[in-house]
Amino acid sequence: MSIREQIEHLFEKKAFSDGDREIYEEFKTALRRGEIRSAKKDADGNWHANTWVKQGILLGFRMGEMVEISKGTETLQFFDKDTFPLRPMSLEDKIRIVIGGSSIRDGSYVAPGVVVVPPAYINVGAYVDEGTMVDSHALVGSCAQIGKRVHLSAAAQIGGVLEPVGALPVIIEDDVLVGGNTGVYEGTIVRERAVLASGVILTRSTPVFDLPNEKIIKAEDGKPLEIPAGAVVVQGSRAITKGFGKENGLSIYCPIIVKYRDEKTDTATKLEDYLR
Beta-sheet pairing, 157-158 with 139-140: parallel
The pTM (predicted TM-score) of the whole model is 0.94
- pLDDT beyond 70 at 274: no
pLDDT higher than threshold 90 for residue 209: yes
With CA atoms as reference, report the closest residue to 49 among 201, 129, 212, 163: 163
What are 179-208's pLDDT values in tens digits?
999 999 999 999 999 999 999 999 999 999
Is residue 153 within 8 A of residue 138, CB to CB? The reply is yes
Of the two residues 75 and 123, the one the predictor is more confident about is 123
Answer yes or no: is pLDDT of 73 > 90: no
Residue 259: other Cβ atoms inside 10 A:
15
In angstroms, rounded to a whole number, what is the distance separating the alpha carbons of residues 87 and 108?
A: 7
Going by pLDDT thresholds of 50, 70 and 90, the confidence category of residue 108 is: very high
Interval 109-161: pLDDT, tens: 999 999 999 999 999 999 999 999 999 999 999 999 999 999 999 999 999 99
Query: C-alpha distances in angstroms, 48 versus 3, 30, 37, 214?
Result: 19, 19, 11, 29
Secondary structure letter of residue 163 according to DSSP: S
Whole-angstrom distance, CA of residue 75 vs CA of residue 28: 29
Whether 265 has a pLDDT exceeding 70, the answer reads no
User: pLDDT at residue 239 above 80?
Assistant: yes
Please, which residues have CB within 8 angstroms of residue 35's CB and are 6 or more apart in sequence?
none
Which pLDDT score is estimated for 271?
Answer: 52
DSSP secondary structure string, 231-252? EEEEEEEEE--SHHHHHTT-EE
Mean pLDDT rounded to a whole number for the chain? 94
